[in-house]
């Protein structure tokens, strides 16, 4: 018998307990041992949890119980869970967590502390999609060339509705909040921070790189407008917010932001609250992972898969994918050095000389125009929508500042990167 203590019996914790009960026979057959949740820790004992296990409001009841083999951490947050997980590891208990924020900041020190003690976290990235095991084990013979991921269901749902149904950002945000997809303060989701935490975990497994969220490029969907969506449709693009990782020489790009992506790409077809991750290996080529990225049962499915792995093997795979450090030392590419194509939306004075001035500014910054569309607005103004050939991030940022002060661009230019 493998005894499990669960810290945080909310939506996911409740699903873990109930799935272990409902699917007991098949789980026992696959694990080779019965997995029994024996104790759950909650902050409020008066709240009905709909579980048939003993509950406590004292975390030490799990940490100090020598009969508990596995601690499942589902409480959320960063520093408090870090303290609890460290205590569990120091007591020799295996740990399973769904906490991406914890791992975004503390994954390497926890890996070192865990040593040979199993520490698993499949549910921390993309809910029920087994992307951690796929990347860490199934693709371990490959150099990972690149990854692109839709890893936040809230922002993907909002963009899907904006594109398919013509709903404005403000209106779809309210709808998402009413449906429970978005929090009262939605910044963590719509601002790209949730996806960034997940991207850093995948980046460590793919490349062995240790960086914090503050070091990478993160932008959200708050500034996407109908004009951007109309342009994307006309030129056969979709708009998605992607977590992107690429290996360029000995440097690694890690960034989260909205992109224009060709409609025929597999990942462009991931709509609604679903998640999808494309991983390109040097030997296997492109592999694609799709499924529910959140929800009690989907996330609990991944948590229990980790517990089964621990029951089967004791020590699982190396926590972050490497038994030893890879020979090549990689570094994070500076944000300014990223190279890609760009889309610009410029509200301009609709008069002679405007286009020439814009083209001059772009040309002086080594930026060439690939496609352009002009849409008249009211009061002798127009939206000038254009895409560039591949150029360097620092050049486009400099050009945008110059355009803003040019006298012909009337409001701050909007920019979306293009991934092809």
Q: Which residues are catalytic?
A: 198
Three-class DSSP labels, 153-195: HHHHHHHHHHHHHCCCHHHHHHHHHHCCCCCCCCHHHHCCHHH
Q: Which residue has the tokens 């960063």?
A: 78
Q: Nearest CA to 392 among 417, 410, 371?
A: 417
Q: Nearest CA to 127 among 145, 95, 105, 149?
A: 149
Pairing of strands 251-262, 217-218: parallel
Rg (CA), the chain: 24
> What is the token pair recorded at 25?
């026979």
> What is the token pair recorded at 289?
């992972």
Task: Give the C-alpha separation, 151 to 241, whole Å.
Answer: 9
Task: Give the C-alpha separation, 78 to 110, whole Å.
Answer: 12
Query: Are the beta carbons of 392 and 338 closer than 8 angstroms?
Result: yes
Query: Are the beta carbons of 140 and 353 closer than 8 angstroms?
Result: no
């Amino acid at each position: 018998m493998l005894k499990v203590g669960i810290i945080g019996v909310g939506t996911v914790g409740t699903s873990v307990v109930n799935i272990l009960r409902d699917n007991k026979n098949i789980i026992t057959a696959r694990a080779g041992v019965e997995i029994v949740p024996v104790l759950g820790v909650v902050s409020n004992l008066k709240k009905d949890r709909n579980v048939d296990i003993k509950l406590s409001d004292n975390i030490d009841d799990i940490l100090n119980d020598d009969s508990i083999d596995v601690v499942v951490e589902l409480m959320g947050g960063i520093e408090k869970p870090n303290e609890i997980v460290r205590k569990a590891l120091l007591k020799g208990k295996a740990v399973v967590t769904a906490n991406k924020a914890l791992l975004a900041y503390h994954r390497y020190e926890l890996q070192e502390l865990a040593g040979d003690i199993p520490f698993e976290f499949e549910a921390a990235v993309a809910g029920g999609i087994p992307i951690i095991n796929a990347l860490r084990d199934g693709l371990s013979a490959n150099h990972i060339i690149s990854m692109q991921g839709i890893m936040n269901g809230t922002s993907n749902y909002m963009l899907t509705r904006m594109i398919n149904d013509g709903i404005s950002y403000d209106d779809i945000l309210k709808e998402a909040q009413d449906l429970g997809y978005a929090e009262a303060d939605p910044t963590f989701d719509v601002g790209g921070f949730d996806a960034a935490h997940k991207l850093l975990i995948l980046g460590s497994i793919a490349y062995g790189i240790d960086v914090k969220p503050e070091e990478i490029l993160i932008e959200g969907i708050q500034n996407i407008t109908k004009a951007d969506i109309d342009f994307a449709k006309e030129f056969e693009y979709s708009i998605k917010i992607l977590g992107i990782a690429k290996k360029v020489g000995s440097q690694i790009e890690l960034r989260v932001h909205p992109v224009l992506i060709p409609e025929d790409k597999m990942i462009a077809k991931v709509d609604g609250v679903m998640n999808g991750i494309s991983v390109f290996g040097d030997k296997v080529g492109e592999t694609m992972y799709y499924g529910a990225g959140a929800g009690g049962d989907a996330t609990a499915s991944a948590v229990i898969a980790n517990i089964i792995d621990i029951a089967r093997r004791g020590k699982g795979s190396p926590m972050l994918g490497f038994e030893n450090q890879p020979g090549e030392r990689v570094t994070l590419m500076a944000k300014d050095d990223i190279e890609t194509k760009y889309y610009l939306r410029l509200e301009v004075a609709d008069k002679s000389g405007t286009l020439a001035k814009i083209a001059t500014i772009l040309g002086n910054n080594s930026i060439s125009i690939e496609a352009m569309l002009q849409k008249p607005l009211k009061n002798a103004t127009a939206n000038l929508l254009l895409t560039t050939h591949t150029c360097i991030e620092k050049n486009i940022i400099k050009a945008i500042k110059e355009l803003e002060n040019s006298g012909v661009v009337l409001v701050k230019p909007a920019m979306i990167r293009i991934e092809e």
